[in-house]
Amino acid sequence: MSLPQQVITIALCVFGTMATRFLPFLLFSSKKPTPKYIQYLGNALPSAIFGMLVVYCLKNVEVLSGSRGLPECIAILAVVGIHLWKRQMLLSIAGGTVCYMALVQFVF
């Protein structure tokens, strides 16, 4: 690939990304009231999105081979447990991550 072709490729990646980020704001300008259906989606979507992002993070876990997703399962349980116990975001995240690193480095 020549340099101009590389520049175009990168520019297209930027354009694709920014199109998806800016489009809702361009379609529903703040001057006109947002349609009720879109308002509803704006309220209902986030719970579904966070669920989707958790699955997205785990998409490459092999359930049928290797450690069979056990370290991920245990570490997520640890995150949930610590969080319900102390309700401190940083502590839950750090605890779960340390637990996961220990599992993949020493146990599995």
Q: Which is nearer to other proteins, 52 or 66 (CB)?
A: 52
Residues 65-104 close enough to bind other proteins by CB under 8 A = 71-72, 75-76, 79-80, 83-84, 89-90, 92-94, 96-97, 100-101, 103-104
Contact 79, 95 (CB under 8 A): yes
End-to-end Cα distance, the chain: 42
Greatest alpha-carbon pair distance for the chain in Å reads 57
**Residue burial 41-57, b: 16+ Cβ < 10 Å; e: rest:** eeeeeeeeeeeeeeeee
24 binds other proteins (CB under 8 A): yes
Indicate which single residue of 57, 66, 68, 86 sits in contact with other proteins (rule: CB under 8 A).
Answer: 57
Q: Report CA-CA distances (Å) from 62 to 31, 65, 66, 104.
A: 48, 6, 7, 14
107 binds other proteins (CB under 8 A): no
| Residue ranges that bind other proteins, judged by CB under 8 A | 1-2, 5-6, 8-10, 12-25, 28, 30, 34, 37-60, 71-72, 75-76, 79-80, 83-84, 89-90, 92-94, 96-97, 100-101, 103-105
